[in-house]
Amino acid sequence: MPLIDLANPTRFLALSHRLLPWFAAATAAAFASGIYLAVSAPDDYQQGATVKIMFVHVPAAWLAMGCWTVMTIAALGTLVWRHPLADVAARAAAPLGAAFTAMCLITGMLWGRPMWGTYWVWDGRLTSVLVLFLMYLGVLALWRTVEDPSRAARAAAVLTLVGAINLPIIKFSVDWWATLHQPASVLRLGGPTIHSSLLTPLLVMALAFLLLFVTLHLAAMRNEIMRRRVRTMLMLQAEAAGH
Amino acid sequence: MTALAALFVRDLKLSVRLGGGALMGVLFFLIVVTLMPFAIGPDLALLARIGPAILWLGALLASLLALDRLIASDYEDGSLDLILMAPAPLELALAAKAIAHWLTTGLPLVIAAPLLGFLLNLDPAATGAVALTLLAGTPALTFIGLIGAALTVALRRGGLLIAVLVLPLTVPVLIFGVAASNAAIVGPLPFGTPFTILCALALMSAVVGPFAAAAALRHGLE
């Protein structure tokens, strides 16, 4: 089936209906093996058992950035090709991205408390993830303020693209700012090298998180398509009742 | 070109005449800077140290305050439709509007900053550095704010949403603006390093802002 057929929401619904159970099962299997590997992984000689927070923290951080990439591609689809599913994909990815970013921040704070002695430091990495979180909240606020879904999609698409241009600049300036304030920072997340006994569970957990994202994204896209159909039906009903 | 010049002159006139509220931002700036010592305490040495940061935050908030009138008033009286249909490119029209807006709301902040520097016990060199960084940085704030104004133009609760959308994007401008001011006062960096990056940010936002705002208006109002 050519990819263009997926542009039809009905075909997308049919295909995603068939695919979704497989993705859900694969997610469950990946999480089962990932959590088993993470629990049985050896403790770090310095960090102790808290190193296991990394198995949730790092995949969440990767997905926090990955979700904005998905939204950027979807935004191009919305603005350039007026792709009917691109709006839906962008809208479904935004809350997921915000959730993964929040998860990254919270697990990072839980790790920081025993390791650094404080929940929060104004380190470059932490701060740029916090700004990323604020940008996600801005996109969500825009989605929730504009009533018409396709207009909201185009406004959110412009904001997403502006964000995609600005996020590397924000990252660069925050890093520059943090190194200016705290030279020779000892607060580095993870060492320069990582032993394979920790790397394998991390990669399995990353795969599990990726599958979780795909599953949730497909499910959220299905919900969004149906929500729009309900909205259209209600508006047609209201119009008919008005005549 | 004459159409753009006419639009530019019109925006300038509208904002300086009755009801334009051109100097409202400066008044807000003055009040914010006056409030700061009440919160921090009247310690002159401390105020001198964090003075550039206070001036930059005040200017950032003051320039944010004026943004909801940048395009919304044209939307309300219908002239935005004329601008959209005019043969002059929308990007250039928006750039002209942004420059006019900066001249009436951004430039007064730059001029007021040295006066407010006295209140914060800044020495003349520090005051000059802050004014220079504001001169380079406030256009960036206006052009970034142009995007937020265009995105929220037709919304009922636009004002608050602009702040939520625009403020995260202003983080680099704030960082390099304050860093350049501090570099001029205490070092150790040379003033030029952060200042040139600040100028680069302003130039980049002058390019990205009108294009993104024009895209937002074209897609949002059809």
Let me know: does B219 contact B104? Beta carbons within 8 Å. no
Mean pLDDT of chain B: 87
Residues in chain A with pLDDT < 50?
A: 1, 182-189, 191-192
Minimum Cα–Cα distance from B189: chain A residue = A180
Q: Is B124 exposed, middle or buried (0-12, 13-18, 19+ CB in 10 A)?
A: exposed
The predicted pLDDT at position A98 comes to 95
- Please give the Cα distance from B182 to B45 (Å, whole number): 15
Which pLDDT does position A194 carry in this prediction? 64
By residue range, what is the domain housing residue A135?
18-178+192-242
Contact B208 A176 (CB under 8 A): no
Indicate the pTM of the whole model.
Answer: 0.87
Is residue A108 situated within a structural domain? yes
Burial tier of B130 (Cβ tally within 10 Å: 0-12, 13-18, 19+):
buried
Q: Nearest CA to CA, how far is A232 from chain B (Å)?
A: 19
Nearest to A177 among B155, B179, B201 (CB): B179
- The partner residue sitting opposite A154, judged by closest CB among B155, B165, B220, is B220
Nearest Cα of chain B lies from the Cα of A32 at a distance, in angstroms, of: 38
Q: Which of A16-20, B17-21, B28-32 has the lowest mean pLDDT?
A: B17-21
Q: Do A145 and B157 touch (CB under 8 A)?
A: yes
Would A12 be classed as within a structural domain? no
Given an 8 Å threshold on Cβ–Cβ distance, is B152 in contact with A145?
A: yes
Structure tokens that stand for A26 in this block: 């694969």
For B125-169, the DSSP string reads HHHHHHHHHHHHHHHHHHHHHHHHHHHTTT-TTHHHHHHHHHGGG
Total domains in the fold of chain A: 1
Q: pLDDT tens for residues B100-138?
A: 999 988 899 999 999 998 888 888 888 888 999 999 999
Which among A142, A173, A174 has the least Cβ separation from residue B161?
A142
**B168/A141 Cβ within 8 A:** no
Nearest to B175 among A155, A157, A177 (CB): A177
User: How far apart are alpha carbons B77 and B101 in whole angstroms?
Assistant: 18
Using the beta-carbon criterion (under 8 Å), do B151 and A158 form an inter-chain contact?
Answer: yes
Chain A residues near residue B179 by CB distance under 8 angstroms: 176-177, 180
Taking CB atoms and an 8 Å limit, are A169 and B161 in contact across chains? no
Closest CA to B162 of B152, B170, B173, B174: B152
Task: Give yes or no for a cis peptide into B188 (omega within 30° of 0).
Answer: yes
The residues that bridge with A48 in the sheet, in sequence order, are: A44
* Cα–Cα distance measured from residue B32 to residue A43, given in angstroms and rounded to the nearest whole number: 51
pLDDT tens-digit profile of B135-160?
999 999 999 999 999 998 878 777 78
Work out the average pLDDT over B18-33.
Answer: 83
Query: What is the structure's pLDDT at A140?
Result: 93
- Both structure tokens of A47: 């960090």
What are phi and psi for residue A48, nearest 5 degrees? 70, -145
* Radius of gyration over every alpha carbon of chain A, rounded to an integer in angstroms: 21
**pLDDT of A34:** 87
A183 in a domain, yes or no?
A: no
What is the rounded CA–CA span in Å between residue A69 and residue B96? 33
**Pairwise CB contact (< 8 Å): B168 & A165:** no
Distances (CA, A) of B97 to B9, B13, B127: 9, 12, 29
Number of independent structural domains in chain B: 1
pLDDT at B24: 85
Given this model, what pLDDT does residue A185 score?
Answer: 41
Question: In terms of CA atoms, which chain B residue is nearest residue A168?
Answer: B172
Each residue's pLDDT tens digit, B61-113: 999 888 888 888 888 888 888 888 888 889 999 999 999 999 988 899 999 99
For residue A121, the tally of other CB atoms under 10 A from its CB is 17
Please answer yes or no on whether B161 and A158 come within 8 Å at the CB atom: no
Strands (DSSP E) contained in chain A are none
What pLDDT does A180 receive?
Answer: 62
- Which residues in B lie closer than 8 A to residue A165 (C-beta atoms)? 208
Number of alpha carbons in the 13 Å side-chain half-sphere of residue A135: 31
Q: For residue B2, what is the enclosing H or E element? A: helix B2-16
Torsion angle in degrees (nearest 10) through CA of B154, B159, B160, B162: 70
Task: Output the CA torsion B212→B214→B215→B220 (10° steps).
Answer: 120
Which chain B residue's Cα is nearest to A144? B161
Q: Tokens 């599990």 map to which residue?
A: A208
Q: Which residues of A touch B155 (CB under 8 A)?
A: 145-146
Q: Would you say residue A6 lies in a domain? A: no
How far does B172 lie from chain A, in Å, by closest CA?
Answer: 6
pLDDT at A45: 65
**Residue A177: its pLDDT value, please?**
80
ipTM of predicted assembly, 2 dp: 0.85
Q: How far is B16 from chain A (nearest CA, A)?
A: 31
Residue A2 included in any domain? no
Q: Is there a contact between A155 and B165 if contact means CB atoms under 8 Å apart?
A: no
The 10s digit of each residue's pLDDT in A10-68 is 888 888 888 889 999 999 998 888 888 888 877 766 667 777 888 888 889 889 989 99
- The domain in which residue B38 lies consists of 2-221
Please tell me which residue of chain B has the smallest CA distance to A141: B161
Q: Output the CA–CA distances (angstroms, integers) from residue B142 to B128, B137, B167, B193, in the order listed.
A: 21, 9, 12, 23
Position B212 scores a pLDDT of: 93
